[in-house]
Structure 1
Amino acid sequence: AVVIPAYNEADYLPATLSALRKAMAAVAAAHSGRVVVVDNHSTDDTAKVARENGADEVVFEPVNQISRARNAGARAAVTRGAEWLIFLDADTLLPPETLARALAALDSGAVCGGGAITVCDGELPFFVRNFLTVWNWSAAKFGLAAGCFVYCTREGYEAAGGFSEAVYAGEEVWFSNRLRKWGRRGGLAFRVIARPPVVTSDRKTQWFGGARFTLQLAILLLFPFAARWRRLCGLWYHRPSRDSASERVEPPDLPPGASPDRMIQNQTAPPPP
């Protein structure tokens, strides 16, 4: 099952679900699955848009916290018998080959889970671009999954205790560490897929600017327990006001004739530092 946590994601979900459905269709001969979108107390049409664009199930999570939304979706999926879980952000495009490689890894019985190298769909400010390069290198080197794409077995998810609800951001790092350690004890690998990368949006740098985004990341890196306070993780929860046209931020327009598939195909992962 694919779990998509979504808070006010009506603008981004159509492209994400379209790319996901095409990826799932590409592996349908060998694998079937469900798409679970978790409406994390949205104030827009997230739930309606999710249903209209191919979600098999929409779950409502009243507490606006990313980790709770992920866990709510996982519970719904496991209740219906899911043995493998994929967590995908609502602004992330999943290439068919990346999905196929994740499923093949789980199918091998030698992998407990993992993630993928990540690229953004726009031009990033200098510091953010270099942070992403360092993150991708670290993810591959040390076995860490970016929150926009995490895959694992049900058994691994449960053994790792799901995503920590004690933090408001960075929950994927804690989860990766617990899952990797659990897998190692059983001789299972934690695998980060290098190619093709998943494509996530650069909206946070558009909304808040590169300097503020970099500062927020630096705070969490230097003081990890800052993630326990929601007010210190505002970039993951604040959305620009829709009441003012001057503040409204829309997802990036596709050029004429373009599609989410083409955006995926045009992305390449940055080289390691």
Structure 2
Amino acid sequence: MPGPRARRAPRSPCPVRPQSPPRTHLGRPTPPRRTRPHAEDCRLAPAHGQPVPRCRTGVRRRGRAGPRRGFASRARPPRHRPTRYCPRGRTASHSSAVRICVVIPAFNEERLLGRTLQAVQQASAAFLTRGWDRETIVCDNNSTDATPRIAAAAGARVVFEPVNQIARARNRGAAAATGDWLIFLDADSQPTRALFEEVARVIEAGRAIAGGCTLTMQTSHRVARWILAGWNLLSRMGGWLAGAFIFIETPAFRQLGGFNEALYVAEEIEFTQRLKRLARKAGRPIVILHRHPLLTSDRKVRLYGPGEHLRFWWQALRAPRQTMTCRDACPVWYDGRR
């Protein structure tokens, strides 16, 4: 028979592991890890008259935004909601002292200037309801008809430019303006209140440095409608401004030096090129409004035949600089047909 079991020897106590050195980061001791407070510290309702217990640390849970627990939340400004005119990252400027100056160059425009000034008067309600000031300046570009008298009778301020040139007339009107924003409008175009409402929203947003709009005309000429549709597409895609309607901050216009007075036509294209460089440097875009196009006259289509238009564009393609700097080479704009 097997003998009695031998007693096992008592186990030796576990060896004490040496304490690891404190964790360090770049030679500095790492602070102890903060633990999440107990749920009952924050969930249990306190007794009557007792202060509400706060969490022990200012640690916030991962993935949650908001103020840290245990600290009084500070008052935050209202959240900016991005709009089409003022995207995220830009806040709108709500200045109540904005002054708008509408500059209209006019050369023998007695037939259409009255309707244009009446349309400007009605559309300016978009500015006046905001408490803004609006001024209309008509630059008489050496007219031989009743253009200055019609402008003065409509309440516009009339200035005179003796040299018959569109760029000079616009610059002369802008030099007399005292507003924060300039709107250049042709004498044969009629803006609407909806268009000026869009301009006002762009100005309130405080993001764009300048802008323009698409055009429309009441004509039955199919080719003219195709050309106008092509220009509107090019304007929206490339940010090109039509001379019939341009709005720009006055300091930016002064910085650019105005329109190039060496050009008799296409001065708005050269102006847009310089404006784009300034806009990129300032980090502010050029906007093209398209919801409410500007109604402009179709008299260039009615009064000038296809041969005259083709002759001009053929000369412009062959020698663009010589054509655009010569007044006699641009009869569609300067021969006085109205």
Pick the TM interval, shorter chain: 0.7 to 0.9
For 1:131 and 1:32, the matched residues in 2 are separated by 36
For 1:148 and 1:52, the matched residues in 2 are separated by 23
Task: Return 5+ residue gaps in structure 1 as ranges.
Answer: 241-248, 250-273
1:117 aligned partner: 214
Partner letter of residue 256 of structure 2? A
Cα RMSD between the aligned structures? 1.6
Provide closer, same or farther for how the CA distance between residues 43 and 121 of structure 1 changes in structure 2, counting only shifts above 3 A: same
**Structure 1 position 23 matched with structure 2 position 123:** yes
2:150 aligned partner: 49
For 1:69 and 1:36, the matched residues in 2 are separated by 11
For 2:124 and 2:317, the matched residues in 1 are separated by 35
Deviation at 1:218, TM superposition (A): 5.4
TM-score by length of 1: 0.82
Match of 1:6 among 106, 121, 135: 106
Provide closer, same or farther for how the CA distance between residues 45 and 18 of structure 1 changes in structure 2, counting only shifts above 3 A: same
1:245 aligned partner: none
Deviation at 1:45, TM superposition (A): 0.6
Deviation at 1:110, TM superposition (A): 0.9
Partner letter of residue 71 of structure 1? N
Provide closer, same or farther for how the CA distance between residues 109 and 186 of structure 1 changes in structure 2, counting only shifts above 3 A: same
Deviation at 1:214, TM superposition (A): 4.7
Match of 2:173 among 73, 79, 100: 73
TM-score by length of 2: 0.67
Relative to its length, the structure with more helix (as a share) is 1
Cα deviation code 1:239-264 (max 9, x no counterpart) = 23xxxxxxxx6xxxxxxxxxxxxxxx
Provide closer, same or farther for how the CA distance between residues 217 and 2 of structure 1 changes in structure 2, counting only shifts above 3 A: farther
Deviation at 1:19, TM superposition (A): 0.6
Partner letter of residue 304 of structure 2? F
For 1:165 and 1:115, the matched residues in 2 are separated by 21
Cα deviation code 1:32-52 (max 9, x no counterpart) = 210000000000010001111
Match of 1:228 among 325, 328, 331: 325
**Contact in 2 for aligned 1:125/1:210 (Cα 8 Å):** no
**Contact in 1 for aligned 2:208/2:285 (Cα 8 Å):** yes
Provide closer, same or farther for how the CA distance between residues 89 and 221 of structure 1 changes in structure 2, counting only shifts above 3 A: farther
Match of 1:149 among 233, 236, 245: 245
1:267 aligned partner: none
**Contact in 1 for aligned 2:219/2:225 (Cα 8 Å):** no
For 2:333 and 2:116, the matched residues in 1 are separated by 18
Tell which deviates more after alignment, 208-217 or 147-156: 208-217
Which structure is larger by alpha-carbon Rg, 1 or 2?
A: 2
Work out which structure has the larger RCO, using CA pairs closer than 8 Å and 6 or more positions apart in sequence: 1
Task: Return 5+ residue gaps in structure 2 as ranges.
Answer: 1-100
For 1:118 and 1:164, the matched residues in 2 are separated by 23
